[in-house]
Amino acid sequence: MEAGMAEACGSHSKHADHTALLGRLSRVEGQVRGVSRMIESDRYCLDILTQISAIKSALTAVEREVLKSHADHCVSNAIAAGDKAEQDQKISELVGLLLKAVR
């Protein structure tokens, strides 16, 4: 998360899904280490590429969950607070995140 977003969105309490996200990221770490070992042991390229594809899919799933959490909590709270400047900032952040995600 970018520094500005961490400050703006970091004030909400820890979400219940943090544990699940951290678990997913730990599995991705293991997959990345596994790919390193596959390359070191000169495994078949197709097998390595299959694992890389799985890693990318897993990271995309984490990205979606974090984006959903941002919308559900940070953006929603800004709307509920009624502060127009804060609402504009959160909507702008959300649009920026979405534009990065579709690249």
Instruction: Tell me the pLDDT tens digit for each residue of 27-71.
Output: 999 999 999 999 999 999 999 999 999 999 999 999 889 888 888
Residue 29 belongs to some domain of the structure: yes
Please give the single-letter amino acid code of residue 55: I
Residue 6 belongs to some domain of the structure: no
- Number of structural domains, the chain? 1
The domain in which residue 55 lies consists of 17-101
Q: Is the pTM for the entire model greater than 0.85?
A: no
Instruction: Specify the pLDDT at position 43.
Output: 97
Identify which of 15, 51, 14 has the alpha carbon closest to the alpha carbon of residue 35. 51
CB count in 10 Å sphere of residue 12: 13
Residue 40 belongs to some domain of the structure: yes
